[in-house]
Amino acid sequence: MSYKLADQFVDRVIAMRPELLRHAALLIGKRTDIGSPEDFVQDTLVTALQNADRFEDYGLSGWLIAILHNHIRNARRRQRRNPTSRSLTETASSDEAEMIEFPVAATQELTLEVEDVMVALRTLSVADQEIIRLARIEGLPLEEIAERLGVQLGTVYSRLSRATTKLRAAYDATPDAATMRASVPNRRAA
């Protein structure tokens, strides 16, 4: 890539920043525990500039938004894997702080996450719910599922894959129960 083309590419990427910020804010919503829109946009711009050689000039906006989606999706996955840790800040000097992570046993958060999965599961079709229930909840071997449903083993693989993808999408689209409960004010009887 020549210097002139590289400069033009950088200018085009930087010009997309406001649109990416709006998109990130929309995707994150109230889930600010995974990061801020500015952080995700910054990560997106860095990734785009590092991989400029992979870009084919047919849709810069779509390419950048796909990178942004991936960064947010990865942050959500990281948050789900380790949702309960607390930080203790110890001041080493007046200008710098050191973070120490202390794991906290999951209690209510785990229950809320299971509730979120169940809400997402209920949005799927009955057939998708059944295949996920048999494979993931009951833990049946895929051969037994094929026999119970009276279908080929390959069909079970396909249906399970599609149902799992739909469940993940529904789970990612559903605000978690903890956030929803925190936003509802407590009401007391008069």
Category of 139 on φ-ψ map: left (φ > 0), alpha (ψ -120 to 50) or beta: left
Region of poorest pLDDT, from 71-80, 84-93, 154-163: 84-93
- With tokens 């998109």, the residue in question is 23
Alpha-carbon distance values, 111 to 62, 88, 106, 119 (Å): 37, 25, 9, 12
Whether residue 115 contacts residue 177, with contact meaning beta carbons closer than 8 Å, is answered with yes
pLDDT of 118 higher than 60: yes
Region of poorest pLDDT, from 20-34, 100-114, 167-181: 100-114
**What is the number of other CB atoms lying within 10 angstroms of the CB of residue 85?**
9
Chain-wide mean pLDDT for the chain? Answer: 75
In this structure, what token pair is assigned to residue 128? 């998708």
